[in-house]
Amino acid sequence: MSNKQDEKIFRDKFKGIQRRQKLILIFVAIVYVVLLSYLIKFDEILGQLSRELEFAIAVILILPVVFILINWRCPKCGAFLGRKFTDQCPKCGLKLK
């Protein structure tokens, strides 16, 4: 395979990574809104959270971060792409767009 073909394959893989990233962010936003509305109602009724509910909330807050750290990587070298979107990998220089 030529270098241009390899780059196209990596860009296509990156599109899948980007799509998963957007889907998880949308899912997290929906879950956070539902969770927040539930907690407001729960607080009005009982006034205190159980240990199990606190644990569930912690898991719900931590899992998306773990997913992002695993998913948001360069398809060529596997380097983390950072917090800001760039047009190329900071490690290997692969053009992502």
User: Is 49 inside any structural domain?
Assistant: yes
Minimal CA–CA distance to 86: which of 76, 96, 78, 77?
96
Average pLDDT in the 36-53 region? 66
Average pLDDT, the chain: 83
Q: Residue 66 has what pLDDT?
A: 92
Task: Report the number of distinct structural domains present in the chain.
Answer: 1
User: Is 59 inside any structural domain?
Assistant: yes
Domain that holds residue 13: 3-71
CB proximity list for 79: less than 8 A, separation 6 or greater: 73, 89, 90, 91, 92
Kindly report the length of the chain. 97
Helix axes 3-45, 51-71, angle to 10 degrees: 170
Average pLDDT in the 1-20 region? 86
Q: Residue 34 has what pLDDT?
A: 84
User: Is 22 inside any structural domain?
Assistant: yes
User: Is 56 inside any structural domain?
Assistant: yes
